[in-house]
Amino acid sequence: MKTVDISEKPPMHRTAVAEGRLSLNVETIIAINEGKVKKGDPFKIAECAALLAVKKTPDLIPHCHNIPISSICIEFSIVDAEIICTCTVKSYYSTGVEMEALVGVSVALLTVWDMVKYLEKNQDGQYPGTAITDIKVLKKLKEANL
């Protein structure tokens, strides 16, 4: 097994933007908006978790190169009964940052779910309406000079 040799690729400014969605019960969204989640503010904790996850991507995905991260931005919005997370990652390197952005979104949404799971469980302890969906790369940019 070996990684892809990127030694001949020139460094460039690279940006990736990824997005994902977490479907929740309306009551859970209300609790988040009113600051009534027992574990605290899900967005603050999820932002921290996503920042750490982006930096740890090569530890999680074997063929990812360890790249210098220039910038990470995690944003959340609520639309109806969904949390939408967007993760933007920037680097100046010879390979891209798509996996880092996708890992950031995934871990952020998993963290929100963990923080509100007690509100999401039904009487049988299941999560019939809770789902993480639509994780995707929205944009990938590669620029020699900014």
Query: Which is the catalytic residue, given 41, 80, 114, 124?
Result: 114
- Bridge partners, 82 (sequence order): 23, 79
Contact 18, 87 (CB under 8 A): yes
Sequence-distant (6+) residues with CB within 8 A of 145 are: 13
**Tell me, what amino acid is at 31?**
A
CA 45 to chain centre: 12
CA 41 to chain centre: 17
**Is 114 one of the annotated active-site residues of the chain?**
yes
- CA gap 69, 66 in Å, rounded: 9
Q: Listing from the earlier edge strand, what are the strands of the sheet with 69-79?
A: 69-79, 82-93, 12-23, 131-143
Active site residues: 114
